[in-house]
Amino acid sequence: AAASSGGIVAYAGSKFDNTAEQTQVAQKKKMVVLGTGWAGTAFLKNLDYSLYDVKVISPRNYFTFTPLLPSVTCGTVEPRSIVEPIRKIIGKKGEEIDYWEADCYKINTVGKKVLCRSKIGTNLDGTGEFVVDYDYLVIAVGAQVNTFNTPGVMEHCHFLKEIEDARRIRRSVIDCFEKASLPYLDEEERKKNLHFVIVGGGPTGVEFAAELHDFVAEDLTKLYPAIQDLVKISVIQSGEHILTMFDQRIAEFAEAKFQRDGIDVRTGYRVVKISDNSITMKCKSTGETSEPYGMAVWSAGVGTRPVIVDVMKQIGQENRRVLTTDEWLRVCGCDGIYAIGDCATISQRKVMEDISAIFKFADKDNSGTLTVKEIQDIFEDLCIRYPQLELYLKSKHMSDIADLIRDAKGGDVEKGSMQLDIDELKIALAHVDSQVKSLPATAQVAAQQGQYLAQCFNSMRDCEEHPTGPLRLRDSGRHRFRPFQYKHFGQFAPLGGEQAAAELPGDWISIGHGSQWLWYSVYASKQVSWRTRVLVISDWLRRFIFGRDTSC
Ligand code: FAD
Ligand code: MG
Ligand code: MG
Ligand code: MG
Ligand code: MG
């Protein structure tokens, strides 16, 4: 059927001649992995390839260390230093694994096939298209930029998502300075060319603005002294503040620092149109204004890739923004499909939906009431299955189960009646589900999900042979089929001038030069290989000694 479907050639079996090997491969379940970003790479690094027949499909044959992309835009770090070939990453284990450089443009969730298209070469029918069957599909294609259909963005703005984007921005910044230096321009024209606009006050936009400011202040003013006073950097943010995903103290510090640095932060402005030389924005109080600009970078909003939109239509998730999975990262509404990273979100099961089952499970002696001990016994499992429970206790400053019981009973309770019946349990847990939070679209989440899913696949056979019930998460000391649990290690916002803001677990905030050093060490340690680690560190040293490279 696949062969006749519009010139698409089915991928025909294994490449082994040896029959013994062929049967062995045939026995293995076919796994297809889409994407080699944070989620896909973490998955592949942790997967035991000997258990599955793995095919990796992604349009980029390398992994990009995205947190350092803003550094590439100004030559602080070289592009080569933050990418690592995927074949090197997955080839390390010496196992047989196939990678194909292609886009997946359609997923057939019923027939369990992915339809792919390669841009680098064509097959006999001249299309470069092929079909791959799967038993298990791991979708890790990430997100794409969202222009919110703002006219002119696609044509005139830079994005900052891929390594090529960072390269283009770097060239464009220098071009703007050279253009502004040409002999036949008047002052207005020079100013226009040196107006750099960043749309979006999230971490990426803010970091890029800070990098650009440092680049101009530390390197370019020396090379272009005549025009240095004409440079202007603007950050346009539709909300009231920049860096809203950070603690308020960090946002305030960033805004104050940018003001001192002369970066124009315009909050409450929405960009409505961009032409080749002017940018139009709207503000509630002052209405519409247009301004000339030399270069614009769009870093506002994440959008869904078309292939994901199509899958969501097939499985009845069309009213969602990203693919919805359960807590084991299985895509809801279809079979054998898993989704990790920015293209997916976890739909956390509510405590209230399972309240009767929880009660029955906990009430070991069938007394119709739960004692503190009975609750205690299942409490750890409950917190793993329903992470909102722990968040709720924290938000209410409750330290133990006795607090929860007292709260449900409305005050002090005698020792003898420290018990809950089903209705009281319902009251005790009534507001727990309001603490359900969706995870942010970050590398940290994506990498942890990739690692977790690989561990699930590595132990799947074991788990199938020793199944555990939905509430039995720990079984004879072994942890099986635990739902995914995110562990937040904190987040950074580099703000330029060798200063950074860090938000660490336990509401720990630190801002300044010390945090910048923490940032250097964390990002050096997070590199995927020793090669990139050495390159990144030597790029930083080179920058300290010689400044940034301005030729490109
Ligand atoms: P990606 O890493 O985007 O990977 C998607 C992969 O899928 C890519 O290999 C892509 O080529 C491939 N692909 C795309 N379409 C298809 C298709 N049709 N078929 C097959 N393959 C496809 N997060 C942090 O935690 N800390 C930071 O400091 C940080 N800084 C950032 C700075 C920048 C400039 C950017 C852009 C992002 C930053 N992030 C940061 C966010 C982080 O990069 C993302 O959350 C993360 O990349 C998500 O991982 P992913 O695997 O879901 O997607
Ligand atoms: Mg990925
Ligand atoms: Mg990536
Ligand atoms: Mg996600
Ligand atoms: Mg009981």
Of 404, 427, 357, nearest to 385 by C-alpha is 357
Among all bound ligands, the one having the nearest atom to the CA of 371 is 5
Of ligand 1's listed atoms, the one at least distance from the Cα of 440 is 45
Distance 415 CA to ligand 5 centre (A): 15
CA 82 / ligand 3 centre spacing (Å): 10
Q: Are 167 and 295 within one domain?
A: yes
Q: What is the DSSP string of 306-318?
A: HHHHHHHHHTT-T
Q: For residue 54, is it within any domain?
A: no
pLDDT of residue 551: 75
CB of 450 closer than 6 angstroms to any ligand 1 atom:
no
Atom of ligand 1 nearest to the CA of 491: 26
| Cα gap 477→232, rounded to integer Å | 61
First to last CA, the chain: 51
- Residue 59 region, left (φ>0) first, then alpha (ψ -120 to 50), else beta? alpha
Q: How remote is the CA of residue 246 from the centroid of ligand 3, in Å?
A: 22
pLDDT bin (cut points 50, 70, 90) of residue 517 is very high
Percent of all residues in the chain with a pLDDT value above 70, rounded to a whole number: 91
Domain annotation covers residue 380: yes
Regarding the beta carbon of 311 and ligand 1, being less than 6 Å apart is answered no
> Residue whose CA is closest, atom 14 of ligand 1?
141
- Read off φ and ψ for residue 341, nearest 5 degrees: 85, -155
The reply to whether 110 falls in a domain is no
Q: Is residue 317 part of a domain?
A: no
Q: Which residue range forms the structural domain that includes residue 178?
A: 153-303+489-546
The pair of structure tokens assigned to 534 is 């050495």
Whether 212 and 292 share a structural domain = yes
The reply to whether 408 and 514 lie within a common domain is no
pLDDT of residue 399: 85
- Residue to mutate, 146, 169, 442, ligand 1, most ligand atoms under 8 Å from C-beta: 442
**Which protein residues have a CB closer than 5 Å to ligand 3 (ion)?**
37-38, 64, 66
Res 302 pLDDT > 50: yes
* Per-residue confidence band for 474, with pLDDT thresholds at 50, 70 and 90: very low
- Nearest CA to 218 out of 252, 271, 249, 261 is that of 261
Mean pLDDT of 474-501: 80
Considering the domain architecture, whether residues 210 and 298 belong to the same structural domain is answered as yes
- pLDDT at position 471 over 50: no
**177 and 296 part of one domain:** yes
Average pLDDT estimate for 49-73: 95
Our count of domains for the chain comes to 2
Give the pLDDT score at 10: 33
- The verdict on 430 and 525 lying in the same domain is no
Cβ burial 440-456 (10 Å sphere, 16+ → b, else e): ebbbbbbbbbbbbbbbb
291 has a pLDDT exceeding 80: yes
**CATH number for the domain including 375?**
1.10.238
**How close is the Cα of 340 to the center of ligand 2, in Å?**
8
**Taking residues 26-48, what's their average pLDDT?**
94
What is the per-residue pLDDT for 258?
97
Check whether residue 163 and residue 252 sit in a common domain.
Answer: yes
Q: Is 406 in the same domain as 509?
A: no
Nearest Cα residue to atom 2 of ligand 1: 37
Pair (287, 169) in one structural domain = yes
Tell me, yes or no, whether 267 and 189 share the same domain.
Answer: yes
Does the structure show a pLDDT above 60 at 433? yes
Average pLDDT over residues 310-331: 93
Is 266 close to ligand 1, i.e. is its CB under 6 Å away? no
Cα separations in angstroms, 422 against 146, 393, 419, 469, 490: 47, 19, 10, 22, 38
Instruction: Give distance in angstroms: CA of 145 to centre of ligand 1.
Output: 11
Q: Which residues contact 372 (CB under 8 A, 6 or more apart)?
A: 401, 402, 405, 418, 419
Domain boundary residue, one of 390, 409, 435: 435
- CA–CA gap between residue 400 and residue 542 (Å, rounded): 54
pLDDT tens sequence across 405-425 = 888 888 777 777 788 999 999
Ligand 1 pocket check for 382: Cβ under 6 Å: no
Q: pLDDT band at 178, cuts 50/70/90?
A: very high
- pLDDT grade, residue 510 (50/70/90)? very high
Position 17 pLDDT exceeds 50: no
Q: How far is the CA of 64 from the centre of ligand 1 (A)?
A: 8
Cα 19 to averaged position of ligand 4 atoms, centre (Å): 42
Q: Is the CB of 449 inside a 6 Å radius of any atom of ligand 1?
A: no
Measuring from atom 28 of ligand 1, which residue has the nearest CA? 67
User: ipTM of this complex > 0.95?
Assistant: yes
Predicted confidence at residue 461, as pLDDT, reads 75
Q: Are strands 278-283 and 269-274 parallel, antiparallel or unpaired?
A: antiparallel
Q: What number does the ligand 1 atom closest to the CA of 70 have? A: 34
Domain boundary among 419, 435, 451: 435
Indicate if ligand 1 lies below 6 Å from the C-beta of 444.
Answer: yes
Of the bound ligands, which one is closest to the alpha carbon of residue 369? Answer: 5
Tens digit of pLDDT for each residue in 352-397? Answer: 999 999 999 999 899 999 999 999 988 988 888 898 998 899 888 8
For residue 552, the model assigns a pLDDT of 65
Decide if 276 is inside a domain. Answer: yes
Q: Is 160 in the pocket of ligand 1 (CB under 6 A)?
A: yes
Report, as an integer, the average pLDDT of 493-513.
93
Ligand nearest the Cα of residue 365 is 5
DSSP class of 265: E
Q: Which of 209, 208, 200, 211 minimizes the C-alpha distance to 237?
A: 200
In a domain, 527, yes or no: yes
In this structure, is residue 334 part of a structural domain?
no
Q: What is the token pair recorded at 324?
A: 């919805």
- Which of 235, 239, 243, 233 lies closest to 202 in space, CA to CA? 243
How far is 433 from 353, CA to CA, in rounded Å?
Answer: 10
Q: What is the CATH number of the domain that holds 504?
A: 3.50.50.100
Residue 285 lies in a domain: yes
Does one domain contain both 285 and 363? no
**Ligand 1: which atom is nearest the Cα of residue 162?**
36
In the reported structure, the alpha carbon of residue 290 is separated from the centroid of ligand 4 by a whole-number distance in angstroms of 36
The token pair that represents 31 in the structure block: 């796994």
DSSP string, 471-524: S--EETTEE-SPPP------EEEEEETTEEEEEETTTEEEEEHHHHHHHHHHHH
Same domain for 167 and 276: yes
Residue position matching structure tokens 């507001």: 431
